[in-house]
Structure 1
Amino acid sequence: MADRRLQVFHAVARQGSFTRAAEHLFMTQPAVTFQIKQLEEHFNTRLLDRGHGRVGLTPAGEIVYAYAERILGLSDELEARVSELTDELAGTLAIGTSTTIAAYWLPRLLEGFRRRYPRVIPRVVVGNSQLTEERVAARELDVGLIEIVTDLPGVERRSAARDQLLVICHPAHPLARAGQLRPRDLVGHSFITRDPGNAIRDLAEEFFREGGVEPEELPVCAELGSLATVKHLAAEGAGFAIASSAAIQRDIREGRLVAVPLDPPLYTPLEVILPRDKFRSRLITAFADHATEMLAELATEPLKNL
């Protein structure tokens, strides 16, 4: 309900960049530039200093920014309060999620939520768990679905469930015949690992260290951000990887991969996180409740072909 020009100006000032503001608002950069120009023409003064790779506020911009904070906060509160009275949730929900949750858990979460609240528009941003955690803490996202236990002071966490992590490899790989695998069993085999900041990478490295194996002892053949590429390389016989059981069920059923449990068993947490706000809209709370319940329910489904 708030003036769109104020929303765009607030985002640019907060992000310190037209490009980052455009990404945050799901707009094109020319559209962001146009909205800022319109607002500056309205006040007949320059609000932003552009230069040295970052956008800053002019004295007039400082005043407009302070009022924009108050106006946008009141607008959000107004929308939420009226929504609570009408009992019909609507609006845009910015959701951040890890790659694994996005591919193998989120579709079913959104399907159920959209059936219940058809006027809600989810906008999903996919990244690793660390990046999602940081964006929720910065209030750039309304809610996050991650695979790490956060300790950031600006974040409220809900532990929803956990998913078992397994070694995956080609059916003809030497590791495929094992009943279970300890850290030392994996030394000497090519390892397909994940990108820095990925929750599964962090858990795997902790698993190795606790078993007396430094991660550097493993011959890494690839470091990848894409889970699909990780599975493809493992299915081609390039090496072994560690992946969530939810992400590999189809590959196992179709015979492309074999999964072997780790000893001791290793699990990834499935966490729902929100900005720690005194006032929170019912839409955000409703989705967080739904996601927590659905993740717990989906995690109890029996593993197949393991």
Structure 2
Amino acid sequence: MADRRLQVFHAVARHGSFTRAAEALFMTQPAVTFQIKQLEEQYNTRLFDRGHGRVTLTAAGELVMAYAERILGLTDELESRVSELTDELSGILHLGTSTTIAGYWLPFLLEGFKRRYPRVIPRVSVGNSQLIESRVMDRNLDVGLIEIVTEQPTLDRRRAGTDELQLIVAPDHPLAGEKSVRAEQLVMYPLIHREPGNAIRDLVDQFFASAGIPFEDLNVTAELGSLSTVKHMVAKGFGVAIASAAAIRSAVKAGRLVGIPLEPRLYTPLEVIVLKDKFRSRLVNTFADFVTEEIVRMSSATKN
């Protein structure tokens, strides 16, 4: 078990505040301050600079933080490995997903997995696919759910399925009655685009480029990292966007958005990635297997 003082130190460094660390740890602020004071006395040096309402790490604090993350990570891994000696999986699972997968697929995946393995605690990070890929490679995440085909040699990738991309417009938009739309039809309309590094953005740029339309000719009115914000802005008539058909299904059903197939059809891959490691835990392997099978099943169900 990791030293409690290291856990408290890590929380203060991560939150940049004794007060927020105390709230996160369900401790009093004086108790947090006491733990940090003990640690600083042990190492006979100051670990934090305090001022302007925020604490920052000193040079010594940076060094302790690097080791604290490794020690706490090993503690989590130890607990997972010991739990594997029993029949029931438990422990913390560090999971990263793209924003689109988080917006539709993830709730169903976590619900199904938690029903089978209630003692597993998922810690979820959400970002664009490139960020999630790099964090899995850096061992900051155990499993990644992304929308790009990774070619990194250090990663094991599992193709779980594909998700169709569609144009989304407000119900009263001039294109709302179209059966399908081509890239040329969209140039005149304001485009609500995804942020650089987003997998769907890259596919959309390729969609227009294949039609001979360079990025500079697009009428980009916003670049957003949040899928829910994209859908809200489109529904309010600020422009059109291209998004996952699965992620917009409920909004389309409710009449807030209209989804229109693209011509030619455009699909994004759904990939499960883990680090190539012969010592990979049973928890990581079990979760990767589960979500791969579930995405395949859910993809088939949505097409029927």
Whether TM exceeds 0.5 here: the answer is: yes
- Please report how far the alpha carbon of residue 103 of structure 1 lies from its aligned counterpart in structure 2 after TM superposition: 2.1
TM-score (norm 2): 0.81
Q: Cα deviation per residue 1:254-292 (whole Å; 9 max; x = unaligned)? A: 222222111221111112222333422211221111111
Q: Tell me which residue corresponds to 1:100.
A: 100
- Of 199-208 and 250-259, deviating more is 250-259
Q: Cα deviation per residue 1:198-234 (whole Å; 9 max; x = unaligned)? A: 2211110111112211122111222222222222222
Return closer, same or farther for 1:32/1:193 CA change in 2, 3 Å cut-off.
farther
- Of 192-201 and 109-118, deviating more is 192-201
Q: Tell me which residue corresponds to 2:38.
A: 38
Superposed counterparts of 1:55-70, under 5 Å: 55=57, 58=60, 69=70
TM-score (norm 1): 0.80
Q: Tell me which residue corresponds to 1:236.
A: 236
Q: Tell me which residue corresponds to 1:219.
A: 219
Ranges of 4+ aligned residues in structure 1 off by more than 6 Å:
8-12, 20-23, 30-34, 60-68
Identity %: 57
Return closer, same or farther for 1:171/1:276 CA change in 2, 3 Å cut-off.
same
Q: Give, as a single letter, the amino acid of the residue that structure 2 aligns with 1:145.
A: L
Aligned-partner Cα distance in 2 for 1:161–1:271: 7
Task: Count residues in correspondence.
Answer: 295
Q: Tell me which residue corresponds to 2:274.
A: 274
CA RMSD for the aligned pairs? 3.6
Return closer, same or farther for 1:77/1:114 CA change in 2, 3 Å cut-off.
closer
Report if the CA contact (8 A) 1:166-1:262 is conserved. Answer: yes
Aligned-partner Cα distance in 1 for 2:289–2:198: 25
Partner SS, residue 177 of structure 1: coil
Report if the CA contact (8 A) 2:143-2:288 is conserved. Answer: yes
Report if the CA contact (8 A) 1:166-1:243 is conserved. Answer: yes
Report if the CA contact (8 A) 1:47-1:61 is conserved. Answer: no
Aligned-partner Cα distance in 2 for 1:110–1:74: 24
Partner SS, residue 237 of structure 2: coil
Q: Tell me which residue corresponds to 2:297.
A: 297
Q: Cα deviation per residue 1:57-76 (whole Å; 9 max; x = unaligned)? A: 55x9969967985x667645
- Please report how far the alpha carbon of residue 141 of structure 1 lies from its aligned counterpart in structure 2 after TM superposition: 2.1
Q: Tell me which residue corresponds to 2:249.
A: 249
Aligned-partner Cα distance in 2 for 1:254–1:63: 52
Aligned-partner Cα distance in 2 for 1:34–1:206: 56
Aligned-partner Cα distance in 2 for 1:228–1:161: 23
Aligned-partner Cα distance in 2 for 1:36–1:151: 44
Superposed counterparts of 1:54-203, under 5 Å: 55=57, 58=60, 69=70, 75-76=75-76, 78-203=78-203
Aligned-partner Cα distance in 1 for 2:75–2:149: 32
Partner SS, residue 302 of structure 2: coil
Report if the CA contact (8 A) 1:148-1:269 is conserved. Answer: yes
